[in-house]
Structure 1
Amino acid sequence: MKLTTTKLNRFLLFKLPSAYICGVRVKEIAFDKCKVSVKHRWINQNPFNSMYFAVQAMAAELSTGALVMLHVQNSNRNIAMLVASNKSKFTKKATGRITFECQNENQIETAIQNTIATGEGQTFWLKSIGANESGEQVSEMDFEWTIKLKQ
C-alpha cells in the first residue's frame, strides 16, 4: 500500500480521531517533505484565542512521522518507530490556517540503512516549522525518532 494524503487522512480518522476532529490534515507527502495543515477553530483553541499548543504538536508530529512511515515502507523491512522526545518553540500567536512542513535531509534514510546494516536501533531528529497563511513562522518543533528492526 503506497502512502498517499488520502490514506494518511483516513488513518487519522480511525487511529488518531482527536487529531482528525481538531482538523489536522495531510496536504502533501513526498520522500523529501511532508506538509500538514490545521485551521484555528473553536474545537482546537486555547483560552487566549489562538490554537492550543497540543494541536500544533499533533500536526507537527504527523509531518515528521508520515515521512518516517513513508521511508520505512520503502525499505521493505519490518521496522518499529517511536518518538523518544520533542522540543517546541512558539514565536507567534497561531490563528488562521497553520501549515507544518518537515523537510527530510536524508536523516531518515541514513538511520534506516544503519539499523538494517547493524541491527541496532537508531535515533535522529526531524524539525517541523509551522507557518501561518502569511508565511510567518508561529512555531518550530523538533522530534527525536527512534527506529529499530522488529524481531
Structure 2
Amino acid sequence: MKITPAKINSFMFFKLPLGWLSGLRVKSITESNSIVIIRHRWINQNPFKSMFWAAQGMAAEMTTGVLVMNAVEASNKKFSMLVTKQEGGFFKKATGKITFTCNDGYLISSTLKKSIATKEGQLITLSSEGKNEDGVVVSNFKFEWSIKVKL
C-alpha cells in the first residue's frame, strides 16, 4: 500500500483523533521530505494567543514519522518504530498557518538496512522546522527514532 497524504489524514481521524481535531494535516510525502501544516485555532491555542507547543510538536513529529513509515513500506519488511527522545526550540509566536518540513528522508533507508543486517534496533535523529506564512522560523524539533526489524 502506497503511503499518501490522504491515507495518513484518514488514518489520523480514526487512530490519532487529537492530531486531526487540532487541524494537523499532511500535505506531501516523498522519499526525501514531508510537509505538514497546522493552523492556529481555538482548539490548539495557549493562554498567550499563540499555538500551544504540544500542537507544534505533533505536527513536527508527524513530518518525521511519515518519512519513517514511507521508508518502512518501501522496504517490504516489518519494523517497530518508537520516539525515544525529543527536543525543541521556539523562536517566535506561532500564529496563523505553520508549515513543518522534514528533509531528512535520505537518512532513513540506510538505518533500516543496518537494522535488517544486525537484527538490532537502530537510532536515527530526524529534524523538523516550522515556519509561519511569512517564512519566519517559529520552532524546530529533533526526534530520535528507534527502529528495529521484526523477525
After TM superposition, the score normalised by the length of structure 2 is 0.98
How do 1:72-91 residues align onto structure 2 when only pairs under 5 Å count?
A: 72-91=72-91
Q: How many residues align?
A: 151
* Structure 1 gap segments, 5+ residues each: none
**Which residue is equivalent to 2:134?**
134
**Which residue is equivalent to 2:22?**
22
**Which residue is equivalent to 2:146?**
146
Give SS of 2:50's match. Answer: coil
Give SS of 2:111's match. Answer: helix
After TM superposition, the score normalised by the length of structure 1 is 0.98
Deviates more, 1:105-114 or 1:93-102: 105-114
**Which residue is equivalent to 1:58?**
58
Task: Verify the 8 A CA contact 2:112 2:149 in the aligned structure 1.
Answer: no
Task: Verify the 8 A CA contact 1:31 1:104 in the aligned structure 2.
Answer: no
**Which residue is equivalent to 2:112?**
112
Q: Which runs of 4+ in 1 moved over 4 A?
A: none
**Which residue is equivalent to 1:33?**
33
Task: Verify the 8 A CA contact 2:37 2:98 in the aligned structure 1.
Answer: yes
* Structure 2 gap segments, 5+ residues each: none
1:106 deviation in Å? 2.3
**Which residue is equivalent to 2:103?**
103
CA distance in 2, matches of 1:105, 1:44: 28
Identity of aligned residues (%): 50
CA distance in 2, matches of 1:10, 1:117: 34
CA RMSD, 1 decimal: 0.7
Task: Verify the 8 A CA contact 2:31 2:105 in the aligned structure 1.
Answer: no
